[in-house]
């Protein structure tokens, strides 16, 4: 995914660098919908999406003096958003892991499984994944499976004889479909799947 730059972006960035709050508001209004769609696709949470958008723009405002030095702001903003989203997903997974740990301590039951252990030991999750992959269109399915095998975007593009941009698009569409399908059965697996892809998008 890429963000569509604003027509008056350079002007706004220069004004924001000089503490212009109205210009910052215009920048926010110009990008928040694009960012929101991307984050919501990954998190499936409106509340979390709104929190991440606010955190991203707070970071932009805090570093406003350096904005004029950024040559490609839309790319910078996308990477910033991706990193904030990835960190939020990691926090959610850690929160789940510690919840299980402390529950085990107080309940005096068997040691809590890590998220990875839980995924590997639950055949129902794999069934959901297989079903989701089987529902994908042919090209998306090929890209998704190659990505799950550990291939990078350029390697997939070379193997399938398509452009890297096409690989990214198929990958994003496939990720959205699979994560939505799997999420209905296991939110933890969906988050792990998203994290795997976010590392290389």
Cα separation, 126 vs 130, in Å, equals: 6
**pLDDT over 80 at 119, yes or no:** no
Confidence of residue 117 (pLDDT cuts 50, 70, 90): very low
**Are 97 and 129 found together in one domain?**
no
Whether residue 99 sits in one domain with residue 13 = yes
pLDDT digits (tens, 9 = 90+) for 166-200: 888 888 788 777 777 766 555 555 555 555 554 55
DSSP code at position 12:
H
Exposure on the CB side of residue 93, measured as CA atoms within 13 A: 23
**Per the structure block, which two tokens stand in for 145?**
């499976």
- Nearest CA to 178 out of 76, 44, 52 is that of 44
What percentage of the chain exceeds 90 in pLDDT? Answer: 27
Per the CB < 8 A criterion, the answer to whether 89 and 43 are in contact is yes
DSSP labels for 99-127? Answer: HHHHHHHHHT-SPPPPHHHHHHH-HHHHH
Residues 80 and 146 in one domain: no
The residue with tokens 């004029």 is 68
The three-point CA angle 46-117-178 to 5° equals 40
pTM of the model: 0.54
Write out the residue range of the structural domain in which residue 76 sits: 1-112
151 and 81 in one domain?
no
Among 82, 112, 142, the domain-final residue is 112
For the chain, report the end-to-end CA distance as a whole number of angstroms: 8
The alpha carbon of 137 is separated from its chain's Cα centroid by a whole number of angstroms, namely: 22
What is the overall mean pLDDT for the chain? 76
pLDDT given for residue 140 in this prediction = 87
Q: Tens digits of per-residue pLDDT, 28-85?
A: 999 999 999 888 887 778 888 898 999 999 999 999 999 988 889 998 999 899 888 8
Tokens of 17: 């660098």
Q: Name every residue whose Cβ is closer than 8 Å to that of residue 60 and which is 6 or more positions away in sequence.
A: 16, 24, 27, 67, 77, 80
Residue 164 has pLDDT above 70, yes or no: yes
On whether both 194 and 171 belong to a single domain, the answer is yes
Number of domains making up the chain = 2
Instruction: Write the CATH number for 75.
Output: 1.10.1740.10
Q: Where does the pLDDT of residue 102 fall: very low under 50, low under 70, confident under 90, or very high at 90 and above?
A: very low
State the pLDDT at residue 93: 66
Show which of 112, 130, 152 is a domain's final residue: 112
């Amino acid at each position: 995914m890429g963000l569509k730059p604003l027509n008056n972006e350079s002007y706004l960035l220069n004004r924001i660098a000089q503490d212009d709050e109205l210009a910052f508001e215009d920048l926010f209004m110009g990008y928040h919908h694009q960012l929101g769609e991307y984050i919501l696709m990954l998190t499936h949470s409106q509340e979390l999406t709104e929190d991440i958008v606010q955190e991203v723009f707070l970071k932009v405002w805090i570093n406003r003096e350096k904005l004029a030095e950024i040559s490609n702001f839309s790319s910078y903003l996308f990477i910033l958003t991706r990193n904030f989203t990835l960190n939020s997903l990691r926090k959610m997974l850690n929160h789940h892991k510690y919840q299980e740990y402390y529950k085990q301590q107080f309940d005096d039951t068997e040691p809590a499984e890590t998220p990875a252990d839980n995924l590997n030991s639950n055949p129902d999750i794999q069934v959901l994944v297989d079903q989701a992959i089987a529902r994908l269109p042919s090209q998306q399915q090929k890209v998704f499976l190659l990505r799950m095998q550990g291939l990078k975007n350029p390697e997939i593009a070379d193997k399938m004889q398509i452009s890297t941009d096409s690989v990214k698009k198929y990958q994003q569409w496939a990720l959205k479909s699979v994560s939505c399908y799997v999420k209905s059965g296991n939110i933890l697996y969906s988050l792990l799947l998203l994290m795997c892809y976010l590392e290389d998008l």
